[in-house]
Amino acid sequence: MKAAARELGYKKNQAAVELVKKQSNVIAAVVSSVKTNFAGQIIDGIQSEASKHGYNLIVVYSNSASAEEQRKALLTVIERPVMGILLLSIALSDDNLKMLKESDIPYCFLSMGFDDDRPFVSSDDMEIGYEATKFLIDKGHRKIGLAAIDKYPYTGRLRLAGYSKALNEANIVPDNSWIQSGDYSYTAGESAMKAYGKDTDLTGIVAASDMAAIGALNEARNLGLRVPDDLSIISIDGTEMCQIVQPQLTSVSQDFYKMGVVGVQRIEESVVNKTASKDHQQLIPVHIYERDSTK
């Protein structure tokens, strides 16, 4: 009979199954719709690990900026029985975070760290700032800018701290003008480079993201500055963008794929342990790839 039913194109109604079983095998990912070109790599990692365990993945997009959009996206997944929620580079408003916590669904933030005790998997942003800056220092640079970084949220603050630490260790005192804050975007990279100007003292720049690095690179070219001969640029993220641009960008690369994998493992742990899995904050190592934008 089952076989016959299957022949006739019978499909299980998972809504009914989940209703009675009170559990589901789907993991939900909430992604900020901001143009993050690394989200795909994280999703690949999630997908791969999820499928290894027989889980299904659904993703919903949410505009990071609007709390109302966030709320709708969150409700879409909370109001149906998902086994866990992964949040990709999204900073929840207080209300929405509260709602998430109260849902009793295991969750984990990905690619973003936080001050409080919520679970997350991300790179060590302090290390990123430090390694990028130190790389340039080791190449002999002394005047090094930090471009397009958001100074206040957790991520940017840590990267700035790492940058300052590396400079400090080398007895370099940064000028205020060396740090050009921004929102990690192409335009922010462009603006930072414009602010430094054609006659800048800087010989090296740490860019907050690949897109910011490309913005800075293109603007440098407009200004008549040659990369890497006049100016070295090191990028943070290490997506494919680094390799399609000329010159190819040296980068501090984050392992986004692994973040996805580990995120799924976190969810699984929370499910089997029935615990909220607090204070699970895991840092994924980064790696520097030297390409052609530094010397």
Partner DNA sequence: CTGAAAGCGCTAACAG
Partner DNA sequence: CTGTTAGCGCTTTCAG
User: Among candidates 182, 114, 186, 112, which has minimal Cα distance to 151?
Assistant: 182
Helix (H) or strand (E) holding 253: strand 250-253
Q: Which is nearer to its own copies, 35 or 151 (CB)?
A: 35
Residue type present at position 169? E
Give the one entry of its own copies, DNA, none that residue 76 binds, where binding means its C-beta sits below a cut-off of 5 to 8 angstroms depending on kind.
its own copies
Structure tokens at 149: 């970084």
Q: Which is nearer to its own copies, 81 or 162 (CB)?
A: 81
Tell me which of 136, 149, 214, 264 binds its own copies, using CB under 8 A: 214
Helix axes 256-273, 39-52, angle to 10 degrees: 40
Binding residue for its own copies (CB under 8 A) from 71, 91, 103, 170?
A: 103
Task: Report, in Å, the least distance between residue 81 CB and DNA.
Answer: 9
Binding site for DNA (CB under 7 A): 10-13, 16-17, 19-22
Query: Which is nearer to DNA, 23 or 246 (by Cβ)?
Result: 23
The listed partner (its own copies, DNA, none) that binds 289, CB under 5 to 8 Å by sort, is none
Interaction between residue 40 and its own copies (CB under 8 A): yes
Number of Cβ atoms within 10 Å of the Cβ of 112: 20
| 232-261 binders of its own copies (CB under 8 A) | 240, 244-246
Output 16 or 173, the one with its CB closest to its own copies.
Answer: 16
Q: What is the DSSP letter of 116?
A: S
* Backbone region of residue 107 per phi and psi (left: phi > 0; alpha: psi in -120 to 50; beta: other values): beta
DSSP-assigned states of every residue in 151-206: SSSHHHHHHHHHHHHHHHHTT----GGGEEE--SSHHHHHHHHHHH-TT-S-SEEE
Shortest reach from residue 56's CB to its own copies, in Å: 4
Q: Kindly list the residues in this chain that would bind its own copies in the complex (CB under 8 A).
A: 9, 11-16, 18-19, 26, 33, 35, 40, 43-44, 47, 51, 56-61, 72, 75-76, 78-81, 99, 102-103, 186, 211, 214-215, 218, 221, 240, 244-246
